[in-house]
Amino acid sequence: MSSGNTIPCATCSAPVDFFAPPVGPFCSPRCQMVDLGRWLAEDYRISEPLDYEEIAELRNQLEDQHEAP
Ligand SMILES: [Zn+2]
């Protein structure tokens, strides 16, 4: 059923119910990680593609920075 609340996934443009997913404007956690990796790569100016473990590690570093006083 169409609720009229669908938006395109920010990564793959698949229609996603704006109110349904727990992963923001993404259709899946996978697409969320792809987008996260994309801006992390730009932020850190890394020329080669990140793999999943590197993305997770970078995210942990960001979270550590948030906890620092
Ligand atoms: Zn997607």
Per-residue pLDDT tens digits for 6-54: 889 888 999 888 777 577 788 888 998 998 888 887 766 655 666 878 8
In the chain, the largest separation of any two C-alpha atoms, in whole Å, equals 48
> Over 60: is that where the pLDDT of 55 sits?
yes
Sign of CA dihedral 7, 13, 15, 21: negative
Residues, CB within 5 angstroms of ligand 1 (ion):
9, 11-12, 14, 27, 31
Distance 69 CA to ligand 1 centre (A): 35
pTM to 2 decimal places: 0.48
Read off φ and ψ for residue 65, nearest 5 degrees: -65, -35
Cβ proximity of 26 and 10 under 8 Å: yes
| 65 class by beta-carbon count within 10 Å (0-12 exposed, 13-18 middle, 19+ buried) | exposed
- Residue-level pLDDT at 23: 77
**If DSSP codes are grouped into helix, strand and coil, which group holds residue 56?**
helix
Confidence band, pLDDT 50/70/90 cuts, at residue 67: low
